[in-house]
Amino acid sequence: MRFILAEDRDARFRFAPLQGAAFAQALPEARRRLLPDSFVLMDGSGQLRLKSDAVVYILRALGGLWSVLGLALQLVPRMIRDFGYDTVGRIRHRLFHRPANLCPLMPMTLRARFGS
């Protein structure tokens, strides 16, 4: 999420917790129950993209070199991409610096991008 906030200069992406009211309004409960407890992206057409498919979509939407990386990842079979996604998810705290304050105060400029 921090990566998207930093790279999405046009503020195209919005965020909401899977258990929050905004996501509940966007998707019926029967469909939400089938989703993994993972990264879920709903694109502009209402299509859900999960795990590495969501990452590819975001990279392509960001444009520039990120789009090239997204295109390259899209060529990798989904099963292999999702394996990589799950592996990074398991060891992410060893790979990436964990913020000192896990719930930092959100700057006013970013608050509009988050639903509850």
User: What tens digit of pLDDT does each residue of 3-17 get?
Assistant: 888 899 888 888 888
Task: Supply the pLDDT for residue 105.
Answer: 59
For residue 23, what pLDDT is reported?
82
pLDDT at residue 83, rounded to an integer: 96
pLDDT for 59: 96
Residue 96's φ and ψ, nearest 5 degrees, are: -120, 145
pLDDT at 57: 95
pLDDT at position 113, please? 63
- With respect to residue 106, please indicate whether it lies within any of the assigned structural domains: no
Q: Structural domain of residue 24, as residue ranges?
A: 2-96
Please, which residues bridge with residue 114 across strands? 15
Q: Is 105 in contact with 12 (CB distance < 8 Å)?
A: no
- Within a domain: 68: yes
pLDDT lower than 70: segments of the chain: 97-116
Question: Per the domain annotation, does 105 fall within a domain?
Answer: no
Q: Does residue 110 fall inside a structural domain?
A: no
Q: How many structural domains comprise the chain?
A: 1
